[in-house]
Amino acid sequence: MRTPSDDISGRLDPLNGDHSNVFAPELGEFPNASERANQMGDKETKTGTTTVGLKTEDGVVLATDMRASLGHMVSSKDVQKVEEIHPRGALTIAGSVSAAQSLIRSIRAEVRLYESRRGEDMSMQALSTLLGNFLRSGAFYIVQPILGGIDDEGAHIYSIDPAGSILEEEYTVTGSGSQYALGVLEQEYSDDLSVDEAKTVAARAIQSAVERDLASGNGINVAVVTEEGVDITRHKDFADLL
């Protein structure tokens, strides 16, 4: 039996022991998040993934593959990697499936709360800042999303890294197959693409990654975001879009 004078601070997980800094500025900081991620290793389901986002004059197009991996095994061939999180906004996921699912639930709740309190939709700049704050907290380790949406200022694509940095782009990619997809986008993207043309370019980019990246495959999810809202479709055959 320990006495009250025993010092066990060095043996406590910050999440279960010292709570003094859990609710730090913004959303709290979890200094051992990376350690927990490393401990999981190949035991955690990950998306592997190739995701792309393109901006057009009339909206944005987001596309992803549909494969999840567990170590060196394909754990799922039918993963939804792009989700609606805002009436005119969607998010792709790359990285830890559990963390990404939790992030999406949290963001959806915050968007609804903002709308109920203010009587208006959150802007894409505010939404990207909120996402960056969530990721900086360390509670959603190993997630690299792409945010795409449209607001009163037009269409937006944001690349947000796992540490929470936010970059607005004309087009962007994430995931293990990103180098293959980026090569296609560099050659075929232009700022005067229509939404339908952007869907074709996005499909070619994902298809290129699927051909060479072992962690990407099994079809394509496509989200088109316009003033009318978010439309997400799923295709097992790339020929549907090419």
When mean pLDDT is compared across 12-26, 39-53, 82-96, 174-188, the lowest value belongs to 12-26
Contact present, 191 and 163 (Cβ < 8 Å): no
- Mean of the pLDDT values across residues 194-215? 96
Angle at 61 between CA 138 and CA 116, to 5 degrees: 60
Give the model's confidence band at 24: pLDDT under 50 very low, under 70 low, under 90 confident, else very high: very low
Within 8 A by CB and 6+ apart from 2, the residues are 8
The upper half-sphere exposure of residue 74, i.e. CA atoms within 13 Å in the direction of its Cβ, equals 14
Contact present, 138 and 179 (Cβ < 8 Å): no
Give the model's confidence band at 138: pLDDT under 50 very low, under 70 low, under 90 confident, else very high: confident
Phi-psi domain of 65 (left: phi exceeds 0; alpha: psi -120 through 50; beta: other): beta
Q: Tell me, what's the pLDDT at 69? A: 86
Q: Tell me, what's the pLDDT at 22? A: 35
| CA-wise closest residue to 52 among 177, 212, 234 | 177
Catalytic residues: 49
pLDDT at residue 15 is higher than 60:
no
Q: Which CATH class is domain 47-235?
A: alpha beta
